[in-house]
Structure 1
Amino acid sequence: MVWVTRAKRGLCAALTTTGLVCAAMQSAGAQPSVPVAVRDVHRVLTPTLPGTYGDDTAVVILGYGLTPEGAMRKELVRRLQTGFVQSVFAPSSPIVVTGGNPRAGTSEADAMAEWLVSAGIDPARILRETRAESTVANARNTAALMDEHNLRTAVLITSDDHVRRARAAFDAAGVEVVGELTPGATPWPVLPLRIEQFGPVLPTDQFARHPL
């Protein structure tokens, strides 16, 4: 398994030169099988690092309940900021925003898409799933949308305390998840780069709708 260890170390070294920090590696004494080791390269790194992906991988941002007035809560904005960073690292990947539960005539997905467009994302890059009312529905509906657009794999963007359940739902829906990114599990707080720096600069009178 020497080549696996060297490959992982080489990838970490390359990432470190960009100012990012690798997640903790498996102990040197661990000797997983080759298929398991290859599969786990993404799973070791992606909880803390945005990845580079192609146009057949979707960046999937999961919704979060809006206020009764249709405003986004801070946790949803943090998911969007994280998804925005991932979208910069994978500029050819479509972005799926998934979430129904409309409030004041606005679905979670529509509010999310509006924020992303305000952040400079091309509207044509955004795929909206506006009917899901649960994590299971997020996964099933996103799977259908991905199939419609010939997307093979997904990177999940959600909250730290939700990612395990989301991963299980997407696995059950037949979606191949190649990465996960959450607002809290990143190295950014210890770097000059902070997640709160990303996204649109909004007028003061819009802060209630897009709380940062």
Structure 2
Amino acid sequence: MVRWTWRKRVVCAALAVTGLACVPIPAGADASAPPGLDFARALGTPALPGIYGPDTAVVVLGYGLTPEGTMREELVRRLRAGLAQAVFAPWSPIIVTGGNPRAGLSEADAMADWLVAAGIDQSRIIRESEADSTVANARNTAAMLADKGLRSVVLVTSEDHIARARGAFVDAGVLVVGDLTPDRAQWDSAPLHIGRFGPASSAR
């Protein structure tokens, strides 16, 4: 007999976005890990995003826009990792943090527009468009968390930035329960999109 819980269903839906299969665990088998996790590790897949509730925000840190106000590739990679995390935690709000406007557009606005175009509901996104540094990212996000009654965050940024970002958020009094980088969620080649009925791969 195979038993499916809502957590397993969410994990399997998210694994489907990556192109991996999710196989039910028969009764009596070790179910201590989400289904598909050992299979993913066996294939050498990088660390997977985690499942979190509505009191944990997914925080995507900005990266400098071009003078024309367009996003650089590194910021797009962060957003794709953030989108993967958003699939795993569909109840989590998403905070995009970054000011430094170029051509009248802040990093946060550019990120929010990208996520909406990828299928994320606008109401799920919180824009923090004043920060001009990692320390300000952390300080301003901490104020937003307190204002909205959120308990913790999952940080999404580049691999060479994650340690500094985590330190800044901890110093700002933010509980960091997880982090994800494009290098550990190497799915930037997959055309991720959140469709009306859940995660799906859009056509090229």
Q: Does TM-score exceed 0.5, indicating one fold?
A: yes
Check if 1:20 corresponds to 2:40.
yes
- Specify the code of the residue in structure 2 equivalent to 1:16: L
- CA 1:82–1:174: 2 relative to 1, 3 Å: same
Residue 184 of structure 2 aligns to a residue in which SS? coil
Check if 1:167 corresponds to 2:166.
yes
| Structure 2 residue aligned with 1:99 | 98
Contact kept, 8 Å, 1:156 with 1:180, in 2: the verdict is: yes
| Structure 1 residue aligned with 2:119 | 120
| Structure 2 residue aligned with 1:51 | 50
| TM-score (ref. length: structure 2) | 0.74
Percent identity (aligned): 60
Contact kept, 8 Å, 1:12 with 1:21, in 2: the verdict is: no
Check if 1:131 corresponds to 2:151.
no
Show CA shifts across 1:94-139 (max 9, x none). Answer: 0000000000000000000000000000000000000000000000
Check if 1:61 corresponds to 2:81.
no
- CA 1:168–1:104: 2 relative to 1, 3 Å: same
Contact kept, 8 Å, 1:61 with 1:157, in 2: the verdict is: yes
Consecutive unaligned residues of structure 2, counting only runs of 5 or more, are 1-29, 194-204
CA-atom RMSD, angstroms?
Answer: 2.0
- CA 1:13–1:113: 2 relative to 1, 3 Å: closer
| Structure 1 residue aligned with 2:22 | none
Check if 1:181 corresponds to 2:180.
yes
Contact kept, 8 Å, 1:81 with 1:196, in 2: the verdict is: no
Query: Aligned partners of 1:112 and 1:10: how far apart in 2?
Result: 37
| Structure 1 residue aligned with 2:189 | 196
- Specify the code of the residue in structure 1 equivalent to 2:76: V
- CA 1:11–1:98: 2 relative to 1, 3 Å: farther
Query: Aligned partners of 1:129 and 1:16: how far apart in 2?
Result: 34
Query: Aligned partners of 2:92 and 2:155: how far apart in 1?
Result: 13
- Specify the code of the residue in structure 2 equivalent to 1:80: L
Query: Aligned partners of 2:65 and 2:113: how far apart in 1?
Result: 14
- Specify the code of the residue in structure 2 equivalent to 1:152: R
Residue 142 of structure 1 aligns to a residue in which SS? helix
- CA 1:73–1:11: 2 relative to 1, 3 Å: farther
User: How many Å apart are 1:49 and its aligned residue?
Assistant: 1.4
Query: Aligned partners of 2:92 and 2:100: how far apart in 1?
Result: 26
| TM-score (ref. length: structure 1) | 0.72
